[in-house]
Structure 1
Amino acid sequence: MEPVLFYGVPHGCSFGSIVALEWLGQPYRLVRIDMLSKPDSDIFRRVTPLGATPALLLDDGEALTESFAILHNIAKRDLGRKLGFAQDTREFDRLNRMLSFLHTDFHSAFVLAWNAYKLAEDDPNREVLRAMAREKAARCYRYLQELISSREWLVGEDKTVADAYFIGIARWGEDLGLFDLKAEYPRLHEFQQKLEADKAVIFAHAIEEGWPAQSSGGFLGHIELDALSPRLAA
């Protein structure tokens, strides 16, 4: 059976997994999870015990969590798409390095800003956390801008799951009011805009916002949590 991706709103990093699935072009379904009011569901807890998204319910009923693992799983389903690379290749190592950076450095740089987002506007800790987040994220934006200035994509000559993951995280700088990317990182902003024009990225935005969405891949529709019970592995 087709895989099922659990994606989080608002503006979760699972955005990148939706983009990657669209690029893959194979059948898949989605489950929408509001991360501000997580569902009180045994099925959700079985799929993702820590309550995090994304999570991918695999064809055999096993659940896979963590973006790093999910993106590799998507990429290996058809290496001919060049979203990933065969193991024991230099390209595979480079992809691993980039995904590791995007997850451990870039993604984590925004944690303090998301914590600040949850605080009252008059909380004195709010701006302290935002300033710390901006400092950490700025280092990542600078590094990525230098990197993309000499290449078309983050890894190799074609877009990969790393580019899909990047576009879901890079937007946080402006979403959280920390950066003006066009003014501060113009080359990286151009790269971001190139991705924003991609049909899969446009689709992922529409899915997140709950707008009518036109798939250019293998999207079969949303599915309710209760309908997944027979799919779960024992």
Structure 2
Amino acid sequence: MAEPFVVYGASGSGSVPIEAALSLLELPHRVVDFAPWDGQEAADKLARINPLRQVPALALPMGELMTESAAILIWLADAHPDGRLAPGLTDPARPAFLRWMTFVSAAIYALYWIADDPSRVVEREEDRAAAKARVFERIAHCWQRMGTELRPGKYLLGEELSVLDLYVATASRWSPGRRRFYEVAPSLAEPIRRVDTDPRLATLWAERFPFTEGWER
């Protein structure tokens, strides 16, 4: 019998939408928590799985390891089409799906490597706060661009929930926060609130990214 999927991640991190997709697809999986921000020892342990010392990573039942959250989400949806978590290859919504999955990954998610530790690119300590603020403004601008160009229905791509909704529902909670997200991309607010309140995800949100008081910031 094949081993279940193994998610290497952390609460509130990019592993959460992957855990959500696995849950919606009813695929057996277990989560191994690694928080690289917990110190050098944790990061070194994670390096044995992903040399970049980043989460998420997903071990597949056949033994292969995947990294990169967007790639993992697209693969999960495509490998399990009965779950209807992505438009099919010939679906008219497929180009938009691939565009915005890649956009969130490349234009938004990638900036947190700087935001989490501005010293990675800014030498002078006195300049780091300003650099971080500019990164957050760039993230807000990217959400605004997505909100301007995407025409959601019940969900971001129409009437069916997709892994794009899971991805955005998680990433939009990171700084500069949901209030800013709602402000710059109001057309995306209702579909994402629908993901927040999906009863199928209630347990996962409570355990992996709780809606604690003031969570919207």
TM-score above 0.5: yes
Q: Contact 2:140–2:181 at 8 Å: present in 1 too? A: no
Deviation at 1:174, TM superposition (A): 4.2
1:67-146 mapped onto 2 (5 Å cutoff): 67-87=69-89, 89-116=91-118, 124-146=126-148
**Counterpart secondary structure, 2:117:** helix
Letter in 1 for 2:173: R
Q: Deviations over 1:76-119 (max 9, x none)?
A: 2321221124435544333211110110112134444322599x
Aligned to 2:24: 23
Aligned length: 204
Aligned to 1:191: 191
Taking structure 1 as reference, are residues 89 and 81 closer, same or farther at Cα in structure 2, changes over 3 Å only?
same
1:156-167 mapped onto 2 (5 Å cutoff): 156-167=158-169
Deviation at 1:27, TM superposition (A): 1.5
Report the more deviating stretch, 124-133 or 62-71.
124-133
TM superposition score normalised by structure 2: 0.77
Q: Contact 2:36–2:42 at 8 Å: present in 1 too? A: no
Identify the structure with bigger relative contact order (alpha carbons < 8 Å, sequence gap 6+).
1
Partner Cα separation in structure 2 for residue 4 and residue 146 of structure 1 = 37
Partner Cα separation in structure 2 for residue 41 and residue 138 of structure 1 = 29
Aligned to 1:224: none
**Counterpart secondary structure, 2:175:** helix
Deviation at 1:63, TM superposition (A): 1.0
Q: Contact 1:98–1:155 at 8 Å: present in 2 too? A: no
Report the more deviating stretch, 99-108 or 79-88.
79-88
Over the aligned positions, Cα root-mean-square deviation in angstroms equals 3.1
Question: 1:154 pairs with 153, 156, 159, which one?
Answer: 156
TM superposition score normalised by structure 1: 0.72
Letter in 2 for 1:131: A
Letter in 2 for 1:192: I
Q: Contact 1:19–1:200 at 8 Å: present in 2 too? A: no
Aligned to 1:34: 35
Letter in 1 for 2:98: N
Deviation at 1:164, TM superposition (A): 0.9
**Counterpart secondary structure, 1:49:** coil
**Counterpart secondary structure, 1:151:** coil
Q: Contact 1:173–1:179 at 8 Å: present in 2 too? A: no
**Counterpart secondary structure, 1:124:** helix
Aligned to 1:208: 208
Deviation at 1:190, TM superposition (A): 3.0
Letter in 2 for 1:24: L
Aligned to 1:47: 49
Taking structure 1 as reference, are residues 185 and 94 closer, same or farther at Cα in structure 2, changes over 3 Å only?
closer
Partner Cα separation in structure 1 for residue 7 and residue 31 of structure 2 = 5
Taking structure 1 as reference, are residues 40 and 191 closer, same or farther at Cα in structure 2, changes over 3 Å only?
closer
Aligned to 2:215: none
**Counterpart secondary structure, 2:136:** helix
